[in-house]
């Protein structure tokens, strides 16, 4: 049997570290915004690659930004997964 003090401490820990619905909504909204920007960049990159004259520096910068967006999206999605107690 778990002592009452330990139970209260553990539940207090989880309540402090639990993500609220508002936090989840904000993160989901940010993910949606980043996904739109990622898709837009993908379209721009495809159009640039099809062009006769391609500014390689601009293309590299766009691809780098697209990769940064992908990493940020993955990090935010990871933040939505609740931590499991050890």
How confident is the model at residue 13, as a pLDDT? Answer: 45
* Burial zone of 1 (CB within 10 Å; 0-12 exposed, 13-18 middle, 19+ buried): exposed
Answer whether 73's CB lies under 8 Å from 38's CB: yes
What are the CA-CA distances from residue 67 to residues 3, 7, 57, 59, 62 (Å)?
Answer: 49, 44, 15, 12, 9
52-84: pLDDT as tens digits: 899 999 999 999 999 999 999 999 999 998 877
Does the pTM surpass 0.85? The reply is no
What is the CA 31 to chain-centroid distance, rounded? 6
Q: Which residues contact 62 (CB under 8 A, 6 or more apart)?
A: 41, 44, 45, 48
């Amino acid at each position: 049997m778990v002592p009452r003090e330990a139970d209260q401490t553990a539940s207090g820990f989880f309540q402090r570290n639990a993500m609220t619905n508002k936090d989840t909504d904000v993160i989901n909204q940010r993910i949606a915004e980043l996904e739109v920007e990622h898709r837009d960049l993908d379209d721009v990159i495809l159009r640039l690659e099809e062009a006769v004259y391609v500014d390689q520096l601009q293309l590299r910068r766009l691809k780098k930004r697209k990769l940064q967006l992908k990493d940020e999206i993955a990090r935010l999605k990871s933040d939505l997964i609740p931590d499991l107690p050890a």
